[in-house]
């Protein structure tokens, strides 16, 4: 017995000395993760990487200025759409609201960090897809299209929120850590390039989760970008670039060329089966439909820490009489002797069921915007009647008298004002449209110089506040970055 023990020790010791050390410290990767290269060698994981970016859009907390989704709330606060409930005690939201952001308070990651984090995934995906040999070619093509579309989508918002921004299309962190800003025009160049490529690469159909199969018409879900999504964004980008011809052309591709899109009645616009939707994202969190409804819909007790925002009275007052959007898309509660209005485009509030039935999808782009884009482009191109007919599609749906009947004497300027107003009434609290439109049309100083003091006594509008600042930390970490002028 003892001899055996001793022999064992001998053997153990001998083994240890003889066996190569290297073997003993080799480990396989963790069971819980997968490497980048491996991820892009099978269709399912490659799709999983890109899809996580869409899931992010459906999941973000709307009350936190980080992921783009929350622009519906935050940019609404910065502009004149929403009011902030003071007792909620969030100094950061308060600063967005009172247009008094500064480099100290803005914090990280903010939109800046959140978007560049997604940009890294997109850029890595484009690199890996380019090198991938094992993917199904159709999937590879679709995913490359989606990634390029997303890059354009992100840069569109980045440049509209921050002005000049670094153009990052590679993944080398040593380069990206020392990068400096590029003018807005260069960013738009890249956006156009990516979108045109995406338009060519992406499928014409709404695809299922395998990246190949087309949805049957009756069960269609418009939750992956396709050719029309890229086209819709392209129309918007041309509008922002004042390229009226192209804006009109791209919008027309969707409005006229595609019978699958049509305006829905007001109560159906934001449903998952909406035919007005061009691109929606699917909520994947428990207990919720959209985070929009979760944040905006007020309880009977009025605004609170959980629901700290409500609609600005000025917006509510701007609805014309009989505008059905007011009754359909705006809700109200009376609490503490005051009436609070809230955005009610999405209606399904938090459930106590972890996976309640999901009937509303968060809508990123929809047909109504394309009508408005085309209307504006047409006015600029001198096609007034075309513009009026586009706007009237929207007014008709809202139950309003058509412009056609009253437009005969309208000047171009008046028509543009009418279009802008329609934009405001149609697209309020959706993806920061109002905040971006005011800047695009150079109306921001005029509008905000009255809106800001109204929001908070003592606050004043400073033009540089139209762009959000970079945090001190970010500037310190990359000394080649310069702060947004004014801050």
Partner 1 sequence: MYRFYTKSGMPYRHVHKIWLIMRLTTVILIATLMQVSAAGLAQKINLSKSNVPLKAVLKEIRTQSGYDFVYAEDIFDVAKPVNIQVKDAELQDVLKEIFKAQPLTFTISKTTVTIQPKEPTFLERLANRWASIDASGRVVDSENRPLPGASVKVKKTGKAVSTDKDGRFFLRGVEEGAVLVVSFIGYLTKEIKAAKELGDVVLELSTSKLDEVQVIAYGTTTQRLSTGNVTTIKTDVIEKQPVNNPLLALQGRVPGLFIEQATGFAGTGVKVRIQGQNSLNNGSDPLYVIDGVPYNSQLLPGGNPILGGSGAVSSGIPLYGNPLNFINPSDIESIDILKDADATAIYGSRAANGAILITTKKGKSGDTRVNVNLQSGWGSVPRKLDLMNSQQYLEMRREAMKNDNITEPTPGNFGDNDLNGNWDNSRYTDWQEELIGKTAVYQDINASISGGTGQTTYLLGTGYHKETNVFPGDYADQKASVHFNLNNTSLNQRFKVQLSASYMYDHNQLPYKDLTQTALTLAPVAPEIYQPDGSLNWEPDKFGNTTFFNPVGFTFDKFLTKTNNLTSNLLLSYELLPRLTLSSSFGYNNMVSNSVNKFLQQSTAPEFRQYVPRSTIFVDNNINSFSIEPQLNYHMTIGKGILEALLGATLLQNRNRGNQIGASGFSNDLVMDDIMSASTVTPASSVRSVYKYNALFGRLNYNWQNKYILNLTGRRDGSSRFGPKSRFHNFIAGGAAWVFSEEGFLKNNLSFISFGKLWASYGTTGSDQIGDYRYLSLLDPAYQVNPYQNIVLYKPSRITNPYLEWEETRKLQVGLELGFFSDKILLNSTYYRNHSSNQLSDYSLPLTTGFSNIIRNQTFKIRNSGWEVALSATAVQTQEFSWKPAFNITVPKSLLVDYPDILKSSASSTAIIGQPLSAERVYHFLGVDPETGIYQFADKSGNATSKPDPYSDKTVLVDFAPEFYGGFQNSLSCHGFQLDFLFSFVKQIARNYTFGILPAGAFREGLRNQPSSLFNRWQKPGDKATIQKYTTGFSLDQPYLDAAASDAGISDASYVRLKNVSLSWEIPKQWIKSVKLQGCNLFLQGQNLFTITNYSGLDPETKSSASLPTLRVITLGVKISL
Contact positions with partner 1 (CB under 8 A) in 355-394: 355, 358
Residue 44 sits in the site that holds partner 1 (CB under 8 A): yes
Cβ nearer to partner 1, comparing 241 with 472: 472
Q: Is 464 in the site for partner 1 (CB under 8 A)?
A: no
Please provide the DSSP assignment of 402-471 as one string: PGGGTGGG--HHHHHHHHHHHHHHHHTTSTTHHHHHHHHTT-HHHHHHHHHHHHSTT----GGGGSPPPP
Site for partner 1 in 269-298 (CB under 8 A): 282-287
- Give ∠ CA 114-115-117 in degrees, rounded to 5: 65
Q: Tell me the CA distances in angstroms from 259 to 253, 255, 281, one per residue in order.
A: 10, 8, 21
DSSP H helices, 64-211, are 71-78, 91-97, 110-131, 137-162, 173-176, 184-201
Minimum gap (Å) between residue 45 Cβ and partner 1: 6
Residue with structure tokens 């800003």?
Answer: 181
* ∠ CA 322-326-332, rounded to 5°: 130
Q: Closest separation between CB of residue 198 and partner 1, Å? A: 19
To the nearest whole angstrom, how small is the minimum distance from the Cβ of residue 20 to partner 1? 10
Tell me the closest approach of the beta carbon of residue 87 to partner 1, in angstroms: 5
Alpha-carbon Rg for the chain, nearest whole angstrom, is 26
d(CA 361, CA 79): 25
Question: What is the enclosing helix (H) or strand (E) of 315?
Answer: helix 313-318
Can you tell me which of 169, 197, 473, 487 binds partner 1, judged by CB under 8 A? 473
Q: Is 25 in the site for partner 1 (CB under 8 A)?
A: yes
Q: Check binding of 49 to partner 1 (CB under 8 A).
A: yes
Q: Do 411 and 53 touch, CB atoms closer than 8 A?
A: no
Q: Kindly state whether residue 481 participates in binding partner 1, applying the rule CB under 8 A.
A: yes
Decide whether 95 or 379 has the Cβ nearer to partner 1: 95
Q: Is 103 in the site for partner 1 (CB under 8 A)?
A: yes
CA distance 482 to 463: 18
Q: Which of 41, 107, 109, 205 is close enough to bind partner 1 by CB under 8 A?
A: 109
The CA distance from 30 to 36, in Å, is 14
Question: 335 vs 410, which CB is nearer to partner 1?
Answer: 335
When the beta carbons of 36 and 205 are compared against partner 1, the nearer one is 36
- Residue 467 found at the interface with partner 1 (CB under 8 A): no
User: Is the CB of 144 or the CB of 171 nearer to partner 1?
Assistant: 171
Pair 475, 181: CB distance under 8 Å: no
Stretch that binds partner 1, among 136-144, 169-177, 243-251, 257-265 (CB under 8 A): 169-177
Which C-beta is closer to partner 1: that of 359 or that of 383?
Answer: 359
Single out the residue of 107, 113, 399, 453 in contact with partner 1 (rule: CB under 8 A).
113
The footprint of partner 1 on residues 301-360 (CB under 8 A) is 301-305, 335-337, 349-350, 352-355, 358
Among 462, 452, 85, 42, smallest CA distance to 301 is for 85
| Part of the chain binding partner 1 (CB under 8 A), chosen from 168-176, 193-201, 259-267, 438-446 | 168-176
- Return the residue of 119, 198, 237, 364 that touches partner 1, per CB under 8 A: 119
Instruction: Kindly state whether residue 216 participates in binding partner 1, applying the rule CB under 8 A.
Output: no
Cβ of 27: how many Cβ atoms within 10 Å? 6
Residues 252, 281: Cα–Cα separation, whole Å: 24
One of 4, 18, 28, 131 touching partner 1 (CB under 8 A): 28
How far, CA to CA in Å, does 329 sit from each of 72, 170, 220? 14, 42, 25
Alpha carbon 112 to its chain centroid, in Å, reads 13
Count of residues engaged in binding partner 1, rule: CB under 8 A:
98
Stretch that binds partner 1, among 72-80, 232-240, 422-430, 477-485 (CB under 8 A): 477-485
Distance in angstroms (rounded) separating the CA atoms of residues 427 and 447: 17
| CB-nearer residue toward partner 1: 346 or 371 | 346
CB of 5 to partner 1, least distance (A): 6
86 contributes a contact to partner 1 by CB under 8 A: yes
Short-list 285, 338, 287, CA closest to 310: 338
- Which residues 66-85 are close enough to bind partner 1 by CB under 8 A? 85
- Which among 38-46, 147-155, 250-258, 315-323 is the span making contact with partner 1, rule CB under 8 A? 38-46
Question: What's the CA dihedral at 149, 151, 155, 158 to 10 degrees?
Answer: 120
Is residue 316 within 8 Å of 341, Cβ to Cβ? yes
Site for partner 1 in 220-259 (CB under 8 A): 221, 223-224
């Amino acid at each position: 017995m003892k001899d055996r023990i001793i022999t064992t020790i001998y053997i153990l010791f001998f083994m240890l000395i003889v066996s190569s050390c290297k073997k003993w410290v080799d480990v396989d990767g963790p069971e819980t993760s997968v490497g980048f290269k491996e991820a892009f060698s099978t269709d399912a994981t490659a799709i999983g990487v890109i899809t996580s970016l869409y899931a992010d859009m459906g999941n973000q907390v709307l009350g936190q200025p980080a992921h783009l989704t929350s622009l519906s709330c935050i940019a609404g606060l910065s502009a004149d759409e929403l009011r902030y409930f003071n007792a909620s005690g969030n100094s950061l939201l308060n600063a967005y609201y009172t247009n008094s952001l500064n480099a100290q308070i803005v914090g990280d990651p903010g939109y800046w960090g959140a978007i560049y984090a997604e940009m890294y995934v997109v850029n890595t995906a484009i690199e890996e897809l380019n090198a991938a040999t094992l993917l199904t070619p159709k999937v590879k093509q679709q995913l490359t299209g989606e990634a390029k579309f997303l890059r354009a989508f992100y840069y569109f918002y980045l440049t509209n929120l921050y002005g000049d921004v670094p153009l990052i299309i590679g993944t080398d962190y040593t380069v990206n850590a020392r990068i400096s800003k590029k003018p807005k025009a260069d960013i738009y160049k890249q956006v156009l390039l990516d979108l045109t490529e995406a338009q060519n690469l992406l499928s014409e159909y709404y695809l299922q989760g395998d990246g190949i199969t087309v949805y049957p018409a009756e069960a269609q879900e418009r939750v992956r970008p396709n050719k029309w999504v890229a086209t819709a964004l392209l129309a918007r980008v041309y509008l922002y670039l004042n390229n009226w011809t192209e804006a009109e052309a791209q919008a027309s591709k969707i409005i006229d060329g595609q019978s699958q899109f049509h305006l829905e009645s007001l109560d159906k616009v934001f449903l998952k089966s909406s035919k007005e939707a061009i691109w929606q994202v699917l909520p994947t969190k428990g207990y919720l439909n959209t985070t929009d409804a979760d944040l905006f819909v007020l309880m009977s007790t009025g605004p609170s820490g959980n629901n700290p925002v409500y609609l600005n009275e000025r917006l509510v007052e701007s609805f014309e009489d009989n505008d059905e959007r007011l009754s359909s898309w705006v809700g109200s509660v009376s609490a503490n002797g005051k009436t609070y209005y809230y955005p009610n485009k999405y209606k399904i509030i938090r459930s106590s069921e972890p996976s309640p039935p999901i009937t509303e999808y968060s809508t990123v782009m929809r047909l109504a915007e394309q009508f408005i884009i085309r209307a504006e482009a047409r006015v600029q191109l001198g096609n007034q009647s075309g513009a009026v007919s586009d706007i009237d599609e929207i007014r008709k749906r809202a139950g309003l008298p058509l412009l056609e009947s009253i437009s005969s004497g309208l000047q171009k300027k008046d028509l543009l004002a009418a279009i802008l107003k329609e934009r405001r009434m149609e697209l309020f609290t959706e993806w920061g449209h109002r905040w971006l439109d005011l800047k695009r049309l150079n109306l921001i100083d005029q509008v905000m110089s009255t809106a800001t003091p109204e929001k908070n006594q003592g606050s004043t509008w400073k033009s540089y506040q139209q762009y959000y600042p970079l945090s001190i930390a970010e500037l310190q970490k990359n000394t080649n970055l310069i702060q947004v002028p004014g801050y």
